[in-house]
Structure 1
């Protein structure tokens, strides 16, 4: 009986260690909003500066909230949603940071073309994909989870359904199928940056 219990406990420990989470820590000004299409519960009085992530592909949506100077006065800058995708190893730790901005001009430039540093527990840089999802409405009322879900639908559809429907609505045709196929071909010929710009535009114009 004792051997059976010991074997059970050992099995549970091995099982839990096999699926241990990794940790992603954030610079103070970086606010995690969405993790793998699920909203992060950032309270009014508490900030989330560390989250658990699983092994494999992870998609993290963050915003930047920082004080900058505009016309000699201090003001709060809130960025667009930055959506990052990267591969995490098992039981590792990661740190996401960026170079703080001083002026509103620097902040606006960063908002259009952000630069982050993602490192692992050994301090080595980690590759990641990054896309900026434009602001929509008032910052405090943005539904970031919905924005990410909408963006992922565009990505999953590739150039079909959602993406094609948006463009087709702007260019009416008697033959919707032909238009969709043409859009697919044109989209596939775009560069990665051009595809991201198109998807950002499509999200802003979804009906």
Structure 2
């Protein structure tokens, strides 16, 4: 009887750890805003600059807030929301970092074309997809969770693409068919700023 109970307890312990969460740590200036369509203020924090993520595909929305120099004065730079998708393994740890900027000019370039480094517990680089979601309204009052949900609805797949162009090109129309080649061509002919403005408008006007 004792052996049976011991075996049962051991089995429960093994099953409870088989699907243990992974941990994602952030460089101090990186602020996690949304994890898998949920805002980070809902209790998923495990520690400062660290969150739990589930094994499998994860979608993480982050912003970067850093002091930079502009006209010899210190200014606060707050980035757009940057949406990252990658796969995590059980019980592994991950670290997200970036190269700090010195000037507002460098920060603005980063905001348009960000570069992050994602590594696992062994220091190996992890592949990820990244898309920048355009700012809307006052940065301090953004509803990041709503922004991510709207974006995922726009691409209609729950998975981000590498660029906004690919995301819009892949988005289906309301009748379930893909966007026409004419619309894709018109979108690709827009400048990057115009594409970002269109993305912002599209997310705010989804039906």
- TM-score range, shorter-chain basis? 0.7 to 0.9
For 1:52 and 1:80, the matched residues in 2 are separated by 23
2 CA distance for matches of 1:126 and 1:140?
31
Q: 1:67 to 1:88 in 2, by over 3 A?
A: same
CA distance in 2: counterparts of 1:92 and 1:182, whole angstroms:
38
Distance in structure 2 (CA, Å) of the matches to 1:71 and 1:161? 46
Within the candidate set 175, 179, 183, 2:179 is matched to: 183
Which whole-Å CA distance do the structure 2 matches of 1:146 and 1:39 have between them? 9
Equivalent of residue 160 in structure 1, options 148, 172, 177: 172
Q: Which moved more, 1:197-206 or 1:148-157?
A: 197-206
Query: Which sections of structure 1, spanning at least 5 residues, go unmatched?
Result: 163-176
Distance 1:118 1:67 in 2: 22
Aligned residue pairs total 185
Q: Deviations over 1:154-177 (max 9, x none)?
A: 111642236xxxxxxxxxxxxxx7
Distance 1:94 1:24 in 2: 5
1:146 matched to which residue of 2?
A: 146
Q: Secondary structure at the match of 2:179?
A: helix
Q: Tell me the alpha carbon deviations over residues 16-68 of structure 1, each in whole angstroms, 9 at most, x when there is no partner.
A: 1210111110000000000001000199xxx8400111111100000001000
SS of structure 2 residue aligned to 1:68: strand
Question: Structure 2 length normalisation: TM-score?
Answer: 0.79
- C-alpha deviation, 1:186, in angstroms: 4.6
Residue matched to 2:36: 36
The answer to whether the 8 A contact 1:33-1:42 is kept is no
- Report whether the alignment pairs 1:204 with 2:204: no
Q: How does 1:105-120 map to 2 (within 5 A)?
A: 105-120=105-120
**Partner deviation per Cα, 1:143-192 (whole Å, 9 max, x = no partner):** 00000000001111642236xxxxxxxxxxxxxx7xx857344567888x
Superposed structure 1 runs of 4+ greater than 4 Å apart: 186-191, 197-200
In the alignment, the residues of structure 1 paired with residue 200 and residue 84 of structure 2 have an alpha-carbon distance, to the nearest angstrom, of 17
The Cα RMSD (Å) is: 2.8
In structure 2, the gaps of 5 or more residues are 158-169
Contact between 2:172 and 2:178, CA under 8 Å: does it hold in 1?
no
**What residue is the counterpart of 1:165 in the other structure?**
none
Inter-partner Cα distance in structure 2 for 1:135 and 1:61? 13
Alpha-carbon distance, 1:203 to partner: 3.6
Alignment of 1:38-77 (within 5 A): 38-41=38-41, 48-77=48-77
Deviation at 1:4, TM superposition (A): 3.3
State whether structure 2 residue 91 is matched by structure 1 residue 79: no
Instruction: Find the counterpart in structure 2 of residue 173 from structure 1.
Output: none
Larger Rg: 1
